[in-house]
Chains A and B, each alone.
Chain A
Amino acid sequence: MDLGPYTSFIATSYLAAALVVVLLIGWIAIDYRIQKARLRALEESGISRRSGRAATDLQ
Chain B
Amino acid sequence: MSLIDLANPTRFLALAARLLPWLALVTVVLLAAGLYLSAQAPDDYQQGATVKIMFIHVPNAWLSMFVWGVMSIASLGTLVWRHPLADVAAKAAAPIGASFTFLALLTGSLWGRPMWGTYWEWDARLTSVLILFLMYLGLMALWRAVDDPTRAARAAAVLTLVGAINLPIIKFSVDWWNTLHQPASVMRMGGTALDKSFLIPLLVMAVGFSFLFITLHVAAMRNEILRRRVRSLQMLQARAYSGSAPAGSATGQIAGAA
CA–CA, A4 and B60, complex, Å: 24
Residues on A with C-beta less than 8 A from B52 are 3, 10, 14
Residues on A with C-beta less than 8 A from B223 are 28, 31-32, 35
Chain A residue, CB-CB nearest to B40: A1
CA–CA, A25 and B27, complex, Å: 13
B248 at the interface (CB under 8 A from A): yes
Kindly supply a per-residue 1/0 record for chain A positions 12-46, scoring 1 wherever the CB is within 8 Å of any chain B CB and 0 otherwise: 11101100110111011101100110110010011
Chain B residue, CB-CB nearest to A23: B99
CA–CA, A36 and B53, complex, Å: 39
Contact A39 B226 (CB under 8 A): yes
B200 at the interface (CB under 8 A from A): no
Best-surrounded residue of A29, A49, A52, A59 (most CB of chain B within 10 A): A49
Contact A49 B233 (CB under 8 A): yes
Chain A residue, CB-CB nearest to B60: A17
Interface range on chain B: under 10, 10 to 19, 20 to 34, or 35 or more? 35 or more
Contact B258 A51 (CB under 8 A): yes
Residues on B with C-beta less than 8 A from A10 are 49-50, 52-53, 110
Residues on A with C-beta less than 8 A from B212 are 21
Best-surrounded residue of A1, A5, A35 (most CB of chain B within 10 A): A35
Contact of A58 among B14, B39, B49 (CB under 8 A): B14
Best-surrounded residue of A5, A13, A38, A51 (most CB of chain B within 10 A): A13
A-B contact list, 21 entries, CB within 8 Å:
A6-B49, A9-B110, A9-B114, A13-B107, A13-B110, A16-B103, A16-B106, A16-B107, A16-B110, A20-B99, A24-B95, A31-B220, A38-B230, A46-B247, A47-B233, A47-B237, A49-B250, A49-B257, A50-B251, A50-B258, A55-B229
Residues of A within 8 A of B (CB): 1-7, 9-10, 12-14, 16-17, 20-21, 23-25, 27-29, 31-32, 35-36, 38-39, 42, 45-52, 55, 58-59
Residues of B within 8 A of A (CB): 10, 13-14, 17, 39, 43, 48-50, 52-53, 56-57, 60, 95-96, 99, 102-103, 106-107, 110-111, 113-114, 212, 216, 219-220, 222-223, 226-227, 229-230, 233-234, 236-237, 240, 247-248, 250-252, 257-258
Given contacts A5-B114, A14-B52, 4 further A-B contacts (CB under 8 A): A2-B49, A9-B113, A13-B57, A38-B230
